[in-house]
Amino acid sequence: MLTRKQHELLIFIDKHLRQTGFSPSFEEMKEALKLKSKSGIHRLITALEERGFLRRRAHRARALEVIRLPENVAPRRAAEASAPAPAREAGFAPNVIRGNFAPGLSGVPKAANETAAVQLPLYGRIAAGLPIEAMRESGTSIEVPAALLGAGEHYALEVAGDSMIEAGILDGDTVIIRRGETAENGAIVVALVDENEVTLKRLRRRGNSIALEAANPRYETRIFGPDRVRVQGRLIGLLRRY
């Protein structure tokens, strides 16, 4: 038997994993459950582990795995899994990436008998730490599952740095970006700063200012005027090789 908060947290983690492929941060869980401190999240996760609903993956930052769901949720999940998957609404706010991307470079479907995957242009490495110039590598592409993508144009970037590790984004990961110029508050975006720096960060709007927020306490949040930051895409997925 789970408490209301334990149940809410388990469902939130499960939904986040299914939508993004990685577990939410403690800050995101705290905000979702409207708790005042992260210590409450620690206690809830520990309780869910002890009851066999969650498991932490060793040696990985913020990595949680849902082992099972409450009996009243599992049948609904099974029904959702068997239903046609709706187009995913893309949204991501990675830190700034340099350069304007050529139009028309959305994912190109493969042959009809290979519709399970699409080829996306790979634009090289983006800074998840200090901003770097992300140069587009002409002609380079990467194959990604078609189910990962929704409507719109997409491209891929290789992450360089460790500033987003608490968002589950590690050095060497490949992030899938939906191209766009807008993103909601709190999204992870590719941001172009002062027309010459590109980086992957969480976007926060604070009054008339824009904050680019790292997911690593070693990095400071950078604050800019609204005319200095231009969103170039939003994170919708992540690929990792072991």
Could you read off the pLDDT of 8-46 as tens digits, one per residue?
Answer: 999 999 888 888 878 888 888 999 999 888 888 888 888
CA–CA separation, 144 vs 155, rounded Å? 10
Could you read off the pLDDT of 49-93 as tens digits, one per residue?
Answer: 888 888 877 555 557 888 888 876 655 555 444 444 443 344 444
**pTM of the entire predicted model:** 0.52
Structure confidence at residue 136 (pLDDT): 54
pLDDT bucket at 224, cuts 50 / 70 / 90: very high
CA–CA separation, 140 vs 123, rounded Å? 7
CA dihedral 182, 184, 187, 193 (to 10 degrees): 40
pLDDT bucket at 167, cuts 50 / 70 / 90: very high
Could you read off the pLDDT of 150-162 as tens digits, one per residue?
Answer: 788 888 888 888 8
CA separation (Å) from 173 to 1, 99, 117, 129, 157? 38, 21, 19, 13, 8
CATH of 4-82, one of 3.40.50.150, 3.40.30.10, 3.40.50.10490, 1.10.10.10: 1.10.10.10
CA–CA separation, 58 vs 66, rounded Å? 14
| Percent share of the chain, pLDDT over 70 | 74
Contacts 24+ apart (CB under 8 A), 11-18: 11/69, 11/73, 13/54, 13/64, 13/66, 14/66, 14/69, 14/77, 17/64, 17/65, 17/66
**Count of Cβ atoms closer than 10 Å to residue 89 Cβ:** 12
Residues with catalytic function = 163, 201
Structure confidence at residue 91 (pLDDT): 41
**Where are the domains positioned within the chain?**
4-82, 108-239
CATH class given for the domain over 108-239: mainly beta
What DSSP state is assigned to residue 96?
B
154-160 and 117-127 beta bridge pairing? parallel
